Structure 1
Amino acid sequence: MTDDHDHGHSHSHGHTGTHGPHHHDHTDIDWSSMAPLLERQAEVQSSAYAEAAAWLGTLVPVSGVRRVLDVGSGPGVLTCLLAEAFPGAETVAVDGTPELLARASARAEARGLSGRVSTLHAELPEEFAKLGEADVIWAAESLHHLGDQRAALNALAGLLRPGGLLVLVEGGLPARRLPRELGFGRPGLEARLDALSAEWFGEMRAALPGAKAEVDDWRALLASTGLVPAGTRSFLSDIPAPVPPVVREQIVFQFERTSQSVDERLAADDRETLARLLDPADPGSLHHRPDLFQLVARTVHTARKG
C-alpha cells in the first residue's frame, strides 16, 4: 500500500505515531482497519481544513475550477470539504484502498454531494496516469508514503491544467493533547512518544519501495517541478479542555495506536504510565481526565502552473 489516508497526522518528524503497525517486525499500515481513526481525526480537525480550503479559493478563481483531485483521500472527509469549497467542480477521491473509497462515496451521498464527488481506485506511484487532468490537486499527508517524493510531485505537476494549483499538506507541529505533568509518571510523556514515533516514521520511509532521502523543503521541491510557489500557511486546530466526547474517543484511539507502534521502544516507567492512561478503570486515564485538549498545526504548501 503506497498511498495514504492519513489525514490528520503531523509528520515530518512531528509524527503523532498513530500510523503504528499491527506487528513490530515491519512497518506496513493496515489502512482499512484505521478507517474510523482517520475519519474522526479529519472530522475533529475539519474547521482547520475548511479554513485551508477557503484560502485556496483566494489563490485560484473558484468559478473556473472544474476538476479537483484529492490524492490519498482515505474516507473522504476532506474530499467533501473540497467539493463544498469548489461548488462548480467534480471532486475525485483517489485512493488505493477500496473500503475507504466506499466510505468516501457514502459520506458524499449523506452530504448531498454525490452528483459532484466521484471515487477513483489507483495504486500510486504506478498509476498516476489514471488520475487525469485537474485544476486543483490536493495531497494531504500522502506524499510521504511514496518512496520517491520528487518523482511523485513531478507526476502531479504534469496533471495540472494551466493556472492550476498543487496543494500539499505536509508537516506542521506534533499534536498536543496532554499536560506535561500528569500527576503520575515522569513529566513530558508526549514529547518522548513523539521522538519514538519520529524514529518509527523514519523506518517506515526507509522501507518504502524506491525510497529516496529528500530534504523536507516542500517549497523547493514544488519549484523543482517547474511550478511557481503560491504561498504556505499553517492552520490551527484548537480544541481546549474539556474536550467533547467525540474528541476524547479519538484521542484514546490515537494513544492505543501509538502504544502498539512504540511499545518495545518505551522505557518501563513510560510503558506503565501509558497503561494507566489507557485503563478505563483508572480515574487518571484518558477516558476520565478533565485536562485533555487537542492542539494541532497543519502546514499547507501551494504552487501554481504558469
Structure 2
Amino acid sequence: MAHTHLGELLELDAAVLHEYYTELLDWIGAQLPDRPHIVDLGAGTGVGSRALARHLPTARITAVDVDAEMLAHLRHRAADDNLEDRIHTVRADLDQPWPELEPADLIWASASLHHLSDPAAALTQAYALTRPGGLFAVVELDSFPRFLADPADAALEDRCQDLLAAKRLEHGLHMGEAWGTRLAAAGYTVTAERQFDLVLRPPLPAQTTRYAQLALTRMRHGLEDRLSVEELAALDRLAADLPHRADLTVRAERTVWLARRPA
C-alpha cells in the first residue's frame, strides 16, 4: 500500500481509537516535566508526533525515521496543524549509529521497534540519549483491529490475521518480544506494563467504515500469494459491502511498556 494510504490508515486508527490515545497520553504526560523534549523513534507519517504535540502543548518533538517520503508527509501535516515550530524531523537509520540528538525526557516508540534488525543495539543508543530520570515508552500491537462480527466473515478475518502474523515472523520482524526484558537489559527500570483491550460496538465513529475498508484492503494485498482466489474475492466483496453494514465492531489489543532511566 502506498505511503498515502498507510498514512490515512494510521490517521483513522488515531481518530477511531481516540479514547485509548487520550488515556495513554494522559498517563504518560502526567509523568513528564514541564516543556519536555520527546524523541519519536520510527515516527513514520507522524501520527504519534502530532498527537504528542497536540496533547502536550509545551512539548518539543524530534521525529526520527529512515523514510524521507514519510518525513515529508509528517512535515506537511504538522504545518497543517500549526505544529511546525514544535516538531523537528531527522532522517536516520535506527539500525546504524544515530546522529547527534538533544537528550530526551521521553523516548516514544510506537509500533516501530519490531522493525529493527538489532533492537538491543538500538536500545543501548536510546539509553544514552535518555536524560537521567527520563522515560521510554514502547507501544506495540499484535495486528490492526478486527472488524467483522458475522461468524463466517470473522473466521476469514482471523485466518488472514494469522497468515499475516506468520509472514511478519518470516520477514524477521520482532513480534511478540518481551520488551520489558529488553529495556531492563539496556539499563532502564521498567515501571509499568499495561495491556489495553479495546472493544468498540455500534454506534461507531463515522470514520470506522473507511478505517475497516483500508485495513481489509491492506490485508488483501499483503496476502495475494497466500490466499485462494475464492478468499481474495471474498475479501473484495467484504470491503465493498462495508458501507452497507450495521454490525461492524472494532476489537484491538495494545501493550505499553514504560521504563525510566535511573536518575
The match for 1:195 is: 162
Q: TM-score, normalised by structure 1?
A: 0.77
Q: Distance in 1 between matches of 2:175 and 2:91?
A: 27
CA positional deviation for 1:118 = 1.6
Deviates more, 1:136-145 or 1:126-135: 126-135
Indicate if the aligned counterparts of 1:49 and 1:235 stay in contact, CA closer than 8 A: no
Matched, 1:98 2:53: no
Of 218-227 and 123-132, deviating more is 123-132
Given that 1:241 and 1:292 are in contact with CA atoms closer than 8 Å, whether structure 2 keeps it comes out as: yes
Distance 1:173 1:201, change over 3 A: closer
Task: Give distance in 1, aligned partners of 2:203 and 2:142.
Answer: 24
Paired residues for 1:80-159 under 5 Å: 80-159=50-129
Counterpart residue type for residue 288 of structure 1: H
**1:45 has 2:17 as partner:** yes
State how 1:39-78 maps to structure 2 within 5 Å.
39-58=11-30, 60-63=31-34, 65-78=35-48
Structure 2 residue aligned with 1:239, among 186, 191, 200?
200
Match of 2:244 in 1: 288
Give me the CA root mean square deviation.
2.5
Q: Which 5+ residue runs of structure 1 have no aligned equivalent? A: 1-21, 23-29, 207-212
Q: Deviations over 1:3-29 (max 9, x none)?
A: xxxxxxxxxxxxxxxxxxx6xxxxxxx
Cα distance in 2, alignment partners of residues 215 and 298 from structure 1: 11
One-letter identity of the residue aligned with 1:286: L
Alpha carbons 1:74, 1:100 under 8 Å: kept = yes
Higher helix content, 1 or 2: 2
Distance of aligned partners of 1:99 and 1:277 in 2 relative to their CA distance in 1, 3 Å threshold: same
Cα gap change, 1:214 to 1:250, in 2 (>3 Å): closer
Query: Is contact 1:180–1:189 with CA below 8 Å preserved after alignment?
Result: no
In the aligned structure 1, how far is the partner of 2:18 from the partner of 2:74?
Answer: 15
Q: Which runs of 5+ in 2 are unaligned?
A: none
Question: In the alignment, which of 232, 248, 264 is matched to residue 209 of structure 2?
Answer: 248
Matched to 2:226, the amino acid is R
**More deviation, 162-171/108-117:** 108-117
1:159-212 CA deviation, whole Å, 9 max, x = no partner?
A: 101000011112456622001425xx7x61111111100111112226xxxxxx
1:98 to partner: Cα distance: 2.4
Secondary structure, counterpart of 1:177 in structure 2:
coil
From 181, 184, 196, the equivalent of 1:220 is 181
Output the CA distance in 2 between the equivalents of 1:61 and 1:71.
18
TM-score (ref. length: structure 2) = 0.88
Query: Residues 234-257 of structure 1, C-alpha deviation per residue, up to 9 Å, x if partnerless?
Result: 335443234344221121111111
- For residues 89 and 287 of structure 1, what CA distance do their matches in structure 2 show? 39
CA pair 86-159 structure 1, distance change in 2 beyond 3 A: same
Question: Partners in 2 of 1:107 and 1:142 — Cα distance?
Answer: 20
Q: Report the equivalent of 1:261.
A: 222
Q: Which has the higher contact order (CA 8 A, sep 6+)?
A: 1
The 1:105–1:238 alpha-carbon spacing in structure 2 relative to 1, beyond 3 Å, is farther
Matched-pair contact (CA < 8 Å) for 2:143–2:161: no
Question: 66-75 or 173-182, which moves further after superposition?
Answer: 173-182
State whether residues 32 and 106 of structure 2, in contact with CA within 8 Å, keep that contact through their aligned partners in structure 1. no
